[in-house]
Amino acid sequence: MRAAIYTRVSQDKRDKASVQQQEDEARLAAAALGWTVVEVFSDNDISASRHARKEREHHTALLAAIQAGTVDVVILWESSRGDRKLTTWSALLDLCRDRGVKIHVVDHRRTYDLTVPRDWKTLADEGVNNAYASEETRERILRDVRANAVAGRPHGKLAFGYTRRYDDRGNFVEQVEHPEQAEIVRECGRRVEAGESLYGIAQDLNRREVPAPRGGKWLPLQIKRVVTNPRYVGQRVHRGVVVGDAVWPAILEENVYAECVRRMSDPRRHSTRDLSLKHLLSGIMVAPCGGRTRVLKNRGYWSYICHQDYCVSVRTTKVEEFVTDQVIERLEQPDVMRGLAARSDQAVAGASGQADELQRRLDGFVDAAARGELTPAALARIEQRLLPEIEDAKRLAQVAPLPKLIRDVAGPGARERWGRLTIGQRREVIDKVAEIRVAASRKGVRFSFHRLAPSRWRGDEQTWGDHWAALDPS
C-alpha cells in the first residue's frame, strides 16, 4: 500500500514529539506493515485549532494527494496531529471514506477503515475530544493571561529592554532590566524627547550595529512603539488597555514617556518628511491661499513656492534668515514660556474633554447592551475600538505642559543653543512658537520682511504686522 505520513507540531510546549520523531515512528509502523511511504507532509510550529492564524500548507497538499488518489493510507502519530478543529477533521474523514483511503494512528497501533461505520465513529469521537482539549487549553491560557494582567505580571513574549529570571524548576521569579537593551530604550526616549526624528535615530542605531527588537535593523516605527509603550513606565497592558501597575521596574521616566507620547500623538507631526529634510520652513510656511510651501528652483534660485496654486514664491535664504532671527528673539523674551504654557493648557483641556466624551459614548453602549439592545459581540467590538482611543486621550491630558525642547532652548542664551539644534529640532521649535504666513509676491519687487506680516506667535491674537505697526505708527 502507498502510505503518506502527516506530521505536525504546534507552538504549545506540551507537544510531546517533534515532527522528525513523529516521522521516524510513522516510518517504523509502515515498515512493520509492509507499506511503502511515498510522501511525507509536515507542518512545523503551526497550530491546528480553530483559533489558528497560519495556514497549514502541507495539510492542504495532503488533501490534494488523497483527492488525486496517489495514496492508500494516511499515517498519523496521533489523531490530534491531523486536526484539532472539528469541521476540518470531519472533512478529512469524509474525504478518506469517499476515496477509500485508510487512516493509521501510530499511538493507537491501529488502522481505521472509514467505510466501516464503527471505525468512522471512533475517529469522529477522537475529533470531538481533540477539539474539546484545544478549547480547554485556550481557556486555561486566557485565565492565566487575565490573572497575570490583574497581578501586573508579564505574559507572552519578552519585551525589548527586559530579561526574566527563573528558579531551578523553571518557574518565573522576576522581570528585570536587560543591561544593554534598557540603555537603548532610555536613549531612544531621550532623543525623541529632545525632538530628533525617528528616522535619524533609527539610522544612527543601525550605523552603530545596535540589535533591533526581534533582530534585523531598526525602523522608525519601532522607535515610536518603544517610546510610547506603557510597559516601559511600569504599567501592565491587557488587550490594549492599561490595567494597573506592573511588577517589573520602569525603564523610562514618567516625564520622558509623557513627552514622547505627546510628540508621537501630535497630528501636525511631519514624520514622513523627516527622511530628507533640508529646508527650515518647507511644509510649515503657509501661502495666502492656505496651501503649504515647498522648495523648488525658480529662475536659478531655491525658493519656497506654494504647491497648491503657485500663488507665492520667495527665496529660501532670505526668508529663513529673517524667520530665524525673529524666533530666536522671541525665545529670549521672558513672556514666551507663559504664552506657550497657556496654549498647552488648552490642548490638555481639549484632550481631557475628548477622553470624557469617548467614555460617555462607551457607557451609553454598555447601557444599551444591558437593556438587550446590543449584542455582547457588538459591545466587545466597540470596546476594542474605543478603549485604546480613551487611553490615548487620557495620556495626552497628562503630558508635560510644555515640550522639553522648548523649555531647554528658551531663555537667555537661546541663540547659542539654537546653533546646536538639528534642522528637525529647529523646525519643531518654529512650528511650536509661531504660525508662519507669507503674503503674495509682487513682480519685480525684492524680498521684504513685510511679506511675513500675516504671521503670528502661537497664543497671540495679533499678527507680526500688528506688532510692527505699534512700534512704528508711521
Measured distance CA(223)–CA(461) in Å, rounded? 37
Residue 302, all three cell numbers:
531655491
| Whether residue 236 is found in the same domain as residue 366 | no
CA distance 90 to 62: 15
330, 358: one domain: no
Angle at 67 between CA 61 and CA 70, to 5 degrees: 80
Same domain, 238 and 184: yes
Alpha carbon separation from 427 to 168, 326, 418 (Å, rounded) = 54, 14, 11
Is the pTM here over 0.85, yes or no?
no
Per DSSP, which regions of 203-356 are E strands? 235-238, 241-245, 293-298, 301-306, 313-315
Give the residue ranges of DSSP H helices in 240-398: 254-265, 316-331, 336-370, 376-397
Residue 81 lies in a domain: yes
**Do residue 132 and residue 177 come from a single domain?**
no
Tell the burial category of 118 from Cβ atoms under 10 Å away from its Cβ (0-12, 13-18, 19+): exposed
How far, in Å, CA of 269 to CA of 227, rounded? Answer: 16
The answer to the question of residue 216 being in a domain is yes
- Report yes or no on 153 lying in a domain: no
- Which helix H or strand E contains 270, and what residues bound it? none
Is 285 inside any structural domain? no
Task: Confirm if 358 and 386 have CB atoms less than 8 A apart.
Answer: yes
Runs of H (alpha helix) within 34-71: 57-68
**96 and 225 co-located in one domain:** no
**Could you say which of 352, 372, 407 is where a domain stops?**
407
> Residue 443 is placed in which grid cell?
513682480
Among the residue ranges 320-324, 331-335, 423-427, the one predicted with the least confidence is: 331-335
Please tell me whether residues 101 and 20 are part of one structural domain. yes
Whether 63 maps to a domain, the answer reads yes
Rounded to an integer, what distance in angstroms lies between the CA atom of residue 357 and that of residue 146? 28
Q: Where in the sequence is the domain holding 51, given as residue range(s)?
A: 2-139
Number of domains in the chain: 4
Q: And the C-alpha cell for 14? A: 506540551
Amino acid at 133: A
Final residue of a domain: which of 228, 243, 273? 273
Per-residue DSSP letter, 400: -
Residue 243 binned pLDDT confidence (cut-offs 50, 70, 90):
low
- Contact between 294 and 305 under an 8 Å Cβ cutoff? The reply is yes
Q: Do residues 126 and 51 both lie within one domain?
A: yes
Residue 174 C-alpha from the chain's centroid: 26
> Do 305 and 442 share a domain, yes or no?
yes
pLDDT value at residue 400:
44
Quick check: helix, strand or coil at residue 446? coil
Question: What CATH code is carried by the domain that includes residue 87?
Answer: 3.40.50.1390
> Per-residue pLDDT tens for 407-438?
888 888 889 999 988 888 888 889 888 999 99
Whether 75 and 41 map to the same domain: the answer is: yes
The answer to whether residues 197 and 256 belong to one domain is yes
100 plus 240 within the same structural domain: no
User: Which residues lie closer than 8 Å to 259 by C-beta, 6 or more apart?
Assistant: 192, 193, 399, 400, 403, 404
Take residue 82 and report the three cell numbers written for it.
491531523
Give the model confidence (pLDDT) of 64-99 as tens digits.
Answer: 999 999 999 999 998 888 887 888 888 899 999 999
Is residue 34 within a helix (H) or strand (E), and if so which, with residue range? none
Q: How confident is the model at residue 13 (pLDDT cuts 50, 70, 90)?
A: very low
Question: What is the per-residue pLDDT across 210-242, written as a single tens digit (0 to 9) for each?
Answer: 999 888 899 999 999 999 988 898 887 655 556
Question: How confident is the model at residue 345, as a pLDDT?
Answer: 47
Nearest Cα to Cα of residue 393 among 355, 361, 363, 353:
355
Q: Would you give the DSSP letter of residue 269?
A: -
**Is residue 148 in some structural domain?**
no
Residues 264, 394: one domain? Answer: no
